Chains A and B, each alone.
Chain A
Amino acid sequence: MEQALLQEQDLWRAGASVFAAEEYEKYRQSRSQALKLFEQEELKVGLFRNYEKVRLEFIRVLAEGERIRQLIEDRKASLTGEIKARRNDLYSRYEILNTLSLELSQRTLSRKQLAQADVLFKEIDRFLERADYEQARSRLNSAESLINQAESILRQQLERYMSQEEIARWRRMAERAVEKSKSGDQPVILVSKLERKLTVYKGGTVLRTYEVGLGFNGLSDKLHAGDNATPEGEYRVIKKVSPSKFGKALLINYPNEEDLRKFNEARKKGYLTPASRIGGLIEIHGGGKDGLTQGCVALDDTEMEELFRMIAVGTPVTIVGTTDPNNKIIAILRREKK
C-alpha cells in the first residue's frame, strides 16, 4: 500500500497527467478502489479480516503503475526524438546559412536573425533537458521563422548567383575580357565578385591574381549612389590617382552607357526616388582587401602598389558576379536542399 502511494507521486512527477492522462486517471481510480477495499477490511472484526484480496488488488495497481511509467518513458522518448530530429534539421540549415553568411563579402547579411536563432537553439536544449516539450516546440517555431527570414534575405541577394543564365552572361563578359587581352600589348583586369578575386590577364594568360574586398552590399549590382553595391559591367581605367584616400587608386568609368540605361529605366519604373543619383567615383584602390567599401574594389596596399605600376589609363576592367557555374552559393544551397 505504501508503495502504491509513493508510486502515484512518482508517476505524477514523471508527468503522467500530461503524457498518459487517460491511463493515469484509470490508475488513480483503481488505487482508490484498492484503498476502499482495505478500509472495508479494517472495519471488520479481527478474526474476519482477510487482506488477501486487498494485497492482490494493490499488486495489480502497482503493475499498472509500472506499465504507465514505461508508457510515459516511451512517450517522452518519442517526443524528445521528434523534437530533437526537427531541432537537428533546423540546426543543419542554420549552419549552412551561417557558413554562407560568413562567406559573403557582406557578412552582416542575416547575422541578426542567425544569432537570435542560435540563442533559441540553446533555449531549446535547456527545455529538452527539463522535458518541457511545449516550450521547446514553441522555441523551435520561433527559430524556424528566424531561419526562414535569414534564408529569404540571403536568397534575395544571391538568387542571381544561382541563375545559370546570369552566370552564362557573366562568362561571356569574362571571355570577351580574356579575348581583349590577347589582342594588343596591354593587360586586362577581370574582377569576379563572388570569389573576391581580381585577375590581370595579358596575352590571354593570367599574369597576376589578387584577393579583393567589395562594397558593404558588394554582391549586388550597383544601381544608384549610396547603395554600397559594386557595379558589374565592362569598364576601363580613366585615371590613375596617387595619393588617394586609400593609397593608390585606379578610377574607372562608372557609370557607363549601360549603367545609365539601367538607372533611367529603374527611375521610370518608379524603383528609385526622383532624388536618386547614379553616383560615381568607383575605384580599384588600396586600404586592405578585408575592408568593406561603398562599392569600390579594395586590395591590400602592397598589392595595389604592384597593380598600380602594371596598369595604364585605358586598361579594360570587367567586373562580373561569378564565372563558376558550380559556385559556392550553389554548392551550399544544394547541400541545404538535401
Chain B
Amino acid sequence: MKNLMKLSILGLLVVFLFSSCAKQPTQQIDEAKAAIDAVVQAGGNIYAKEELKKLNDDLQAAMDEVNTQSKKLFKKYGKAKEMLAKVKTDAEAVNALIPARKEEAKNAALTAQTEARAALDEAKALLEKAPKGKGTKADIEAMKADLAGLETMLTEVQAAIDSEDYFGARDKALSIKDKAAAISEQINAAIAKVKR
C-alpha cells in the first residue's frame, strides 16, 4: 500500500515535471513577431510583398505548432522553437533586402521624372520655335496652357518622391511624359501645316 502511494506520488511528479517544465516559447514568439514588424516598418508591404506573406504564413504555422503542443499532456516545443527561430532569421534577411529594392524604385521614379522633365522641356522648346502665324497662334496659346498644367503636375511627382511613394511618382511621371510627347506631336503637326 505504502509502495503504491509512493509510486502514485512519483508518477504525479513526473507528469508535473513534463507538463510544467516545457513552457511556451514566448520569448521566441515575441522575437519572431518583432522581426516581422520590422519588415513591415521598413516598407515590406510595398517592397517585399511575397516574402512578407511567406513570413506571416510561417509564423502562423509556428503558432499552430505551439497551440497543438500546448494542448498535449507532454508538451514538446522544440519544433516550434526551431520554426520561430527560422521565421526570425528569414525576417532579418528580408529586411536586409528592402533598402536595395527601395533604392531601385527610387531610381526608377527619378529616371521617369527626368524623362518627363525632358519631354516637357522639348515640347516647350518646340512651341517657342513654332511659327506664330496664320492658323497657329490660338493653337499655340492652348498648348502653352496645356504645358502649364503639366508643369504643375510635375511638382506632384516631386512631392510623391519626397513622401517615398516611388511607384506612384513613377506612374505619374510616365503619364506626364506621354502627354508631353503627344503635345510635341501636335506642335510638329501644326508646324508641318504652316510649312505646307
Pick from B8-16, B36-44, B97-105, B167-175 the stretch touching chain A: B167-175
Residue in B closest to A120 when the chains form the complex, CB atoms: B175
Chain B 137-185 interface residues, beta-carbon cutoff 8 Å to A: 137-139, 141-142, 144-150, 152-153, 168, 171-172, 174-176, 178-179
Pick from B17-25, B27-35, B84-92, B128-136 the stretch touching chain A: B128-136
Residue B82, interface by CB 8 Å:
no
Contact sample, A vs B, 26 pairs, CB 8 Å cutoff: A32-B64, A107-B138, A107-B141, A107-B142, A108-B145, A111-B145, A112-B149, A112-B152, A114-B149, A115-B146, A115-B149, A115-B150, A116-B152, A116-B153, A119-B172, A122-B175, A123-B172, A123-B175, A126-B174, A126-B175, A127-B171, A213-B138, A290-B135, A290-B137, A292-B137, A300-B134
- Give the chain B neighbours of A119 by CB distance below 8 A: 150, 153, 172, 175-176, 178-179
Main secondary structure of the interface of A (DSSP, over half): helix
Chain A 11-50 interface residues, beta-carbon cutoff 8 Å to B: 12-13, 32
Instruction: Report the Cα distance A176→B176, complex, angstroms.
Output: 51
Contact of B142 among A108, A113, A213, A289 (CB under 8 A): A108
Residue in A closest to B179 when the chains form the complex, CB atoms: A119
Chain A 150-167 interface residues, beta-carbon cutoff 8 Å to B: none
A contacts, CB < 8 Å to B: 12-13, 32, 101-102, 105, 107-108, 111-116, 118-120, 122-123, 126-127, 135, 213, 288-292, 300
Main secondary structure of the interface of B (DSSP, over half): helix
- Give the chain B neighbours of A118 by CB distance below 8 A: 179
Instruction: Report the Cα distance A143→B93, complex, angstroms.
Output: 41
Residue in B closest to A105 when the chains form the complex, CB atoms: B138
B contacts, CB < 8 Å to A: 50, 53, 64, 133-139, 141-142, 144-150, 152-153, 168, 171-172, 174-176, 178-179
Interface pair A122/B146, CB less than 8 Å apart: no
Interface pair A116/B149, CB less than 8 Å apart: yes
Closest 10 pairs between A and B when the two form their complex, measured CB to CB: A111-B145, A115-B149, A112-B149, A107-B142, A122-B175, A115-B146, A108-B145, A290-B137, A116-B149, A123-B175
Contact of B138 among A13, A120, A292 (CB under 8 A): A292
Interface pair A108/B175, CB less than 8 Å apart: no
- Give the chain B neighbours of A113 by CB distance below 8 A: 149
- Give the chain B neighbours of A105 by CB distance below 8 A: 138
- Give the chain B neighbours of A108 by CB distance below 8 A: 141-142, 144-145
- Give the chain B neighbours of A112 by CB distance below 8 A: 145-146, 148-149, 152
Instruction: Report the Cα distance A119→B178, complex, angstroms.
Output: 8
- Give the chain A neighbours of B172 by CB distance below 8 A: 119, 123
Interface pair B175/A290, CB less than 8 Å apart: no
Interface pair B137/A122, CB less than 8 Å apart: no
Q: Which of A119, A122, A123, A213 has the most CB of B within 10 A?
A: A119
- Give the chain A neighbours of B171 by CB distance below 8 A: 123, 126-127
Residue in B closest to A196 when the chains form the complex, CB atoms: B138
- Give the chain B neighbours of A289 by CB distance below 8 A: 134
12 additional A-B pairs beyond A111-B146, A290-B136, beta carbons within 8 Å, are: A32-B64, A102-B139, A111-B148, A112-B146, A114-B146, A122-B174, A122-B178, A123-B175, A126-B171, A126-B174, A126-B175, A290-B135
- Give the chain A neighbours of B142 by CB distance below 8 A: 101-102, 107-108, 111
- Give the chain B neighbours of A111 by CB distance below 8 A: 142, 145-146, 148-149
Residue in A closest to B138 when the chains form the complex, CB atoms: A107
Q: How far is the CB of B159 from chain A (nearest CB, A)?
A: 14
Instruction: Report the Cα distance A292→B132, complex, angstroms.
Output: 11
Residue in B closest to A300 when the chains form the complex, CB atoms: B134
- Give the chain A neighbours of B53 by CB distance below 8 A: 12
Instruction: Report the Cα distance A113→B145, complex, angstroms.
Output: 9
